[in-house]
Amino acid sequence: MQSEINAALDAMTLRADESRADYGLNDSQAECAECLEDILGAFERVTRHSEGESYVTISQVPKWILELRDVTAPRPERLAKQQLRAALQHTVESRLASYLVVSRSHVHVCLLAAALDARYFELPFLAPFERDIVWDHLSAECQKFWDEDDQNLNPVARAGLLNIERVQAKMRNFAHTSSVEVLGDPLNFWRENGRHFAYWSATARMLLAVPSTTAPAERIFSSMGYSDRRARGRSNCLPSLAFVRANWKLVDSVPESFVSRMVEKWHSM
Protein backbone atom coordinates (compact mmCIF):
# COMPACT_ATOMS: atom_id res chain seq x y z
CA MET A 1 0.00 0.00 0.00
CA GLN A 2 2.70 2.50 0.97
CA SER A 3 4.72 1.77 -2.19
CA GLU A 4 1.63 2.38 -4.30
CA ILE A 5 0.96 5.70 -2.57
CA ASN A 6 4.58 6.78 -3.06
CA ALA A 7 4.45 5.83 -6.74
CA ALA A 8 1.17 7.70 -7.16
CA LEU A 9 2.57 10.82 -5.46
CA ASP A 10 5.63 10.70 -7.72
CA ALA A 11 3.39 10.39 -10.74
CA MET A 12 1.26 13.37 -9.68
CA THR A 13 4.33 15.59 -9.76
CA LEU A 14 4.67 15.08 -13.50
CA ARG A 15 3.09 17.35 -16.09
CA ALA A 16 -0.67 17.62 -15.56
CA ASP A 17 -1.49 17.35 -19.26
CA GLU A 18 -0.03 13.85 -19.62
CA SER A 19 -2.34 10.85 -19.57
CA ARG A 20 -2.26 8.10 -16.96
CA ALA A 21 -0.68 5.74 -19.47
CA ASP A 22 2.24 8.11 -19.92
CA TYR A 23 3.00 7.85 -16.19
CA GLY A 24 3.86 4.19 -16.52
CA LEU A 25 1.51 3.15 -13.70
CA ASN A 26 -0.17 -0.18 -13.30
CA ASP A 27 -3.91 -0.33 -12.62
CA SER A 28 -3.52 -0.41 -8.84
CA GLN A 29 -1.17 2.58 -8.79
CA ALA A 30 -3.40 4.55 -11.18
CA GLU A 31 -6.40 3.90 -8.93
CA CYS A 32 -4.43 5.09 -5.90
CA ALA A 33 -3.43 8.26 -7.74
CA GLU A 34 -7.08 8.99 -8.50
CA CYS A 35 -7.89 8.49 -4.81
CA LEU A 36 -5.20 10.98 -3.85
CA GLU A 37 -6.47 13.55 -6.34
CA ASP A 38 -10.03 13.11 -5.13
CA ILE A 39 -9.35 13.34 -1.40
CA LEU A 40 -6.30 15.61 -1.20
CA GLY A 41 -7.79 18.06 -3.67
CA ALA A 42 -9.87 19.55 -0.86
CA PHE A 43 -6.76 20.07 1.27
CA GLU A 44 -5.07 21.79 -1.66
CA ARG A 45 -8.03 24.14 -2.17
CA VAL A 46 -8.04 25.10 1.50
CA THR A 47 -4.29 25.72 1.46
CA ARG A 48 -4.43 27.81 -1.70
CA HIS A 49 -7.31 29.87 -0.34
CA SER A 50 -5.65 30.55 3.01
CA GLU A 51 -2.37 31.46 1.30
CA GLY A 52 -3.95 33.70 -1.34
CA GLU A 53 -3.45 37.42 -1.82
CA SER A 54 -6.60 38.37 0.11
CA TYR A 55 -6.53 38.58 3.90
CA VAL A 56 -8.10 35.46 5.39
CA THR A 57 -9.18 35.62 9.03
CA ILE A 58 -9.39 32.86 11.60
CA SER A 59 -13.20 32.97 11.36
CA GLN A 60 -13.05 30.63 8.37
CA VAL A 61 -11.13 27.89 10.16
CA PRO A 62 -14.18 26.03 11.61
CA LYS A 63 -15.82 25.97 8.18
CA TRP A 64 -12.66 24.61 6.53
CA ILE A 65 -12.11 21.93 9.14
CA LEU A 66 -15.69 20.72 8.81
CA GLU A 67 -15.40 20.60 5.02
CA LEU A 68 -12.23 18.53 5.32
CA ARG A 69 -13.96 16.20 7.75
CA ASP A 70 -16.70 15.63 5.20
CA VAL A 71 -14.09 14.82 2.56
CA THR A 72 -12.38 12.26 4.81
CA ALA A 73 -15.59 10.72 6.20
CA PRO A 74 -15.74 6.89 5.95
CA ARG A 75 -17.45 5.66 2.79
CA PRO A 76 -18.02 2.28 1.12
CA GLU A 77 -15.01 2.30 -1.19
CA ARG A 78 -12.07 0.15 -2.21
CA LEU A 79 -9.54 -0.75 0.48
CA ALA A 80 -6.82 1.65 -0.72
CA LYS A 81 -9.18 4.61 -0.59
CA GLN A 82 -10.56 3.56 2.80
CA GLN A 83 -7.04 3.37 4.26
CA LEU A 84 -6.18 6.80 2.89
CA ARG A 85 -9.34 8.34 4.34
CA ALA A 86 -8.73 6.68 7.70
CA ALA A 87 -5.20 8.10 7.91
CA LEU A 88 -6.38 11.64 7.09
CA GLN A 89 -9.50 11.39 9.24
CA HIS A 90 -7.42 10.95 12.40
CA THR A 91 -5.61 14.26 11.79
CA VAL A 92 -8.75 16.14 10.81
CA GLU A 93 -10.68 14.90 13.84
CA SER A 94 -7.89 15.95 16.20
CA ARG A 95 -7.93 19.45 14.70
CA LEU A 96 -11.70 19.55 14.83
CA ALA A 97 -11.64 18.67 18.52
CA SER A 98 -9.25 21.53 19.26
CA TYR A 99 -11.16 24.15 17.23
CA LEU A 100 -14.80 23.30 17.91
CA VAL A 101 -14.69 23.23 21.70
CA VAL A 102 -18.03 24.53 22.97
CA SER A 103 -18.74 24.48 26.67
CA ARG A 104 -19.68 26.93 29.38
CA SER A 105 -16.05 27.16 30.44
CA HIS A 106 -14.34 27.32 27.05
CA VAL A 107 -15.38 28.64 23.65
CA HIS A 108 -12.60 28.62 21.08
CA VAL A 109 -11.65 31.97 19.59
CA CYS A 110 -12.35 30.58 16.10
CA LEU A 111 -16.03 30.18 16.99
CA LEU A 112 -16.23 33.67 18.46
CA ALA A 113 -14.67 35.07 15.30
CA ALA A 114 -17.00 33.04 13.08
CA ALA A 115 -20.01 34.44 14.92
CA LEU A 116 -18.83 37.95 14.05
CA ASP A 117 -18.18 37.11 10.41
CA ALA A 118 -21.15 38.14 8.26
CA ARG A 119 -20.80 34.94 6.24
CA TYR A 120 -20.91 32.50 9.15
CA PHE A 121 -22.50 34.38 12.05
CA GLU A 122 -25.50 32.02 12.12
CA LEU A 123 -23.04 29.19 12.97
CA PRO A 124 -24.80 26.51 10.90
CA PHE A 125 -22.16 23.93 11.85
CA LEU A 126 -23.19 24.01 15.53
CA ALA A 127 -26.18 22.70 17.41
CA PRO A 128 -28.70 25.38 18.57
CA PHE A 129 -27.65 25.17 22.22
CA GLU A 130 -23.98 25.51 21.20
CA ARG A 131 -24.75 28.67 19.22
CA ASP A 132 -26.38 30.16 22.32
CA ILE A 133 -23.21 29.44 24.31
CA VAL A 134 -21.03 31.15 21.70
CA TRP A 135 -23.20 34.26 21.59
CA ASP A 136 -23.37 34.41 25.40
CA HIS A 137 -19.58 34.47 25.47
CA LEU A 138 -19.52 37.15 22.78
CA SER A 139 -21.87 39.28 24.84
CA ALA A 140 -19.50 38.93 27.80
CA GLU A 141 -16.52 39.88 25.61
CA CYS A 142 -18.30 42.98 24.34
CA GLN A 143 -18.94 44.17 27.87
CA LYS A 144 -15.18 44.27 28.49
CA PHE A 145 -14.93 47.19 26.05
CA TRP A 146 -17.33 49.42 27.94
CA ASP A 147 -15.73 52.59 29.25
CA GLU A 148 -16.78 54.45 32.39
CA ASP A 149 -19.37 56.54 30.59
CA ASP A 150 -21.02 53.45 29.21
CA GLN A 151 -21.29 51.97 32.67
CA ASN A 152 -23.55 54.88 33.59
CA LEU A 153 -26.08 53.90 30.93
CA ASN A 154 -29.59 53.10 32.00
CA PRO A 155 -29.73 49.30 32.59
CA VAL A 156 -32.65 48.99 30.19
CA ALA A 157 -30.76 50.82 27.43
CA ARG A 158 -27.64 48.77 28.11
CA ALA A 159 -29.58 45.51 27.83
CA GLY A 160 -30.99 46.68 24.52
CA LEU A 161 -27.55 47.46 23.10
CA LEU A 162 -26.31 43.97 23.96
CA ASN A 163 -29.49 42.10 23.03
CA ILE A 164 -28.25 39.07 21.09
CA GLU A 165 -31.42 38.53 19.08
CA ARG A 166 -31.46 42.18 17.99
CA VAL A 167 -27.80 42.10 16.94
CA GLN A 168 -28.29 38.86 15.01
CA ALA A 169 -31.32 40.28 13.23
CA LYS A 170 -29.39 43.41 12.22
CA MET A 171 -26.41 41.34 11.06
CA ARG A 172 -28.72 39.14 9.01
CA ASN A 173 -30.21 42.23 7.38
CA PHE A 174 -26.83 43.77 6.57
CA ALA A 175 -25.42 40.44 5.36
CA HIS A 176 -28.29 40.06 2.90
CA THR A 177 -28.10 43.62 1.60
CA SER A 178 -24.32 44.04 1.41
CA SER A 179 -22.35 43.47 -1.77
CA VAL A 180 -20.36 40.32 -2.46
CA GLU A 181 -17.13 42.33 -2.27
CA VAL A 182 -17.90 43.44 1.27
CA LEU A 183 -18.88 39.97 2.39
CA GLY A 184 -15.65 38.64 0.93
CA ASP A 185 -13.72 40.36 3.71
CA PRO A 186 -15.34 40.48 7.18
CA LEU A 187 -13.11 43.42 8.10
CA ASN A 188 -14.67 45.46 5.27
CA PHE A 189 -18.11 44.50 6.54
CA TRP A 190 -17.32 45.97 9.94
CA ARG A 191 -15.71 49.07 8.46
CA GLU A 192 -18.92 49.75 6.57
CA ASN A 193 -21.41 48.74 9.25
CA GLY A 194 -19.53 49.00 12.55
CA ARG A 195 -21.44 52.15 13.46
CA HIS A 196 -24.64 50.11 13.54
CA PHE A 197 -23.10 47.68 16.08
CA ALA A 198 -21.26 50.08 18.33
CA TYR A 199 -20.92 47.64 21.24
CA TRP A 200 -19.83 44.73 19.06
CA SER A 201 -17.45 46.29 16.54
CA ALA A 202 -14.54 46.56 19.00
CA THR A 203 -14.72 42.84 19.72
CA ALA A 204 -15.04 42.11 16.00
CA ARG A 205 -11.89 44.12 15.21
CA MET A 206 -9.97 42.23 17.89
CA LEU A 207 -11.07 38.73 16.85
CA LEU A 208 -11.11 39.22 13.08
CA ALA A 209 -7.61 40.67 13.11
CA VAL A 210 -6.26 37.17 13.81
CA PRO A 211 -4.90 35.63 10.57
CA SER A 212 -5.88 32.09 9.72
CA THR A 213 -2.26 30.94 9.39
CA THR A 214 1.20 31.99 10.53
CA ALA A 215 2.68 31.11 7.13
CA PRO A 216 3.12 34.75 5.94
CA ALA A 217 5.10 35.65 9.07
CA GLU A 218 7.15 32.47 8.81
CA ARG A 219 7.84 33.23 5.15
CA ILE A 220 9.33 36.62 6.12
CA PHE A 221 11.36 34.93 8.84
CA SER A 222 12.73 32.44 6.32
CA SER A 223 13.64 35.22 3.89
CA MET A 224 16.06 36.58 6.47
CA GLY A 225 18.25 33.57 5.79
CA TYR A 226 19.50 35.42 2.70
CA SER A 227 20.79 38.27 4.84
CA ASP A 228 23.88 36.31 5.93
CA ARG A 229 25.15 36.57 2.35
CA ARG A 230 25.80 40.27 2.84
CA ALA A 231 29.48 41.02 3.36
CA ARG A 232 28.63 44.05 5.48
CA GLY A 233 25.60 44.87 7.54
CA ARG A 234 24.42 45.79 10.99
CA SER A 235 21.79 44.08 13.08
CA ASN A 236 19.56 47.16 13.09
CA CYS A 237 19.23 46.85 9.29
CA LEU A 238 17.54 43.45 9.46
CA PRO A 239 14.05 44.72 10.41
CA SER A 240 14.22 47.24 7.56
CA LEU A 241 15.27 44.55 5.09
CA ALA A 242 12.38 42.34 6.19
CA PHE A 243 9.92 45.21 5.87
CA VAL A 244 11.12 46.16 2.39
CA ARG A 245 10.99 42.57 1.19
CA ALA A 246 7.43 42.06 2.48
CA ASN A 247 6.08 45.35 1.10
CA TRP A 248 8.08 45.84 -2.08
CA LYS A 249 5.01 45.31 -4.28
CA LEU A 250 3.43 48.41 -2.69
CA VAL A 251 6.26 50.71 -3.74
CA ASP A 252 4.53 51.78 -6.95
CA SER A 253 1.51 53.03 -4.99
CA VAL A 254 3.59 55.09 -2.50
CA PRO A 255 4.17 58.80 -3.23
CA GLU A 256 7.63 59.49 -4.61
CA SER A 257 8.33 62.07 -1.91
CA PHE A 258 7.80 59.42 0.77
CA VAL A 259 10.10 56.98 -1.02
CA SER A 260 12.80 59.66 -1.25
CA ARG A 261 12.62 60.31 2.47
CA MET A 262 12.86 56.60 3.21
CA VAL A 263 15.89 56.24 0.94
CA GLU A 264 17.60 59.13 2.69
CA LYS A 265 16.87 57.59 6.04
CA TRP A 266 18.20 54.25 4.80
CA HIS A 267 21.52 55.79 3.72
CA SER A 268 21.86 57.55 7.06
CA MET A 269 21.66 54.28 9.00
- Please give, one letter per residue, the 3-state secondary structure of the chain: CHHHHHHHHHHHCCCCCCCHHHHCCCHHHHHHHHHHHHHHHHHHHHHHHHCCCCCCEHHHHHHHHHHHHHHCCCCCCCHHHHHHHHHHHHHHHHHHHHHCCECCCCECHHHHHHHCCCCCCCCCCCCHHHHHHHHHHHHHHHHCCCCHHHHCCCHHHHHHHCCHHHHHHHHHHHHHHCCHHHHCCHHHHHHHHHHHHHHHHHHHHHHHCCECCCHHHHHHHHHHHHHHHCCCCCHHHHHHHHHHHHHHHHHHHCCHHHHHHHHHHHHHC
Stretches where the chain sits below pLDDT 50 are: 15-17, 148-149
Where do the domains of the chain lie?
Answer: 2-99, 109-208, 215-268
**What per-residue confidence (pLDDT) applies to 164?**
73
**Residues 75-93 pLDDT 10s:** 888 787 888 888 888 888 8
**What per-residue confidence (pLDDT) applies to 18?**
53
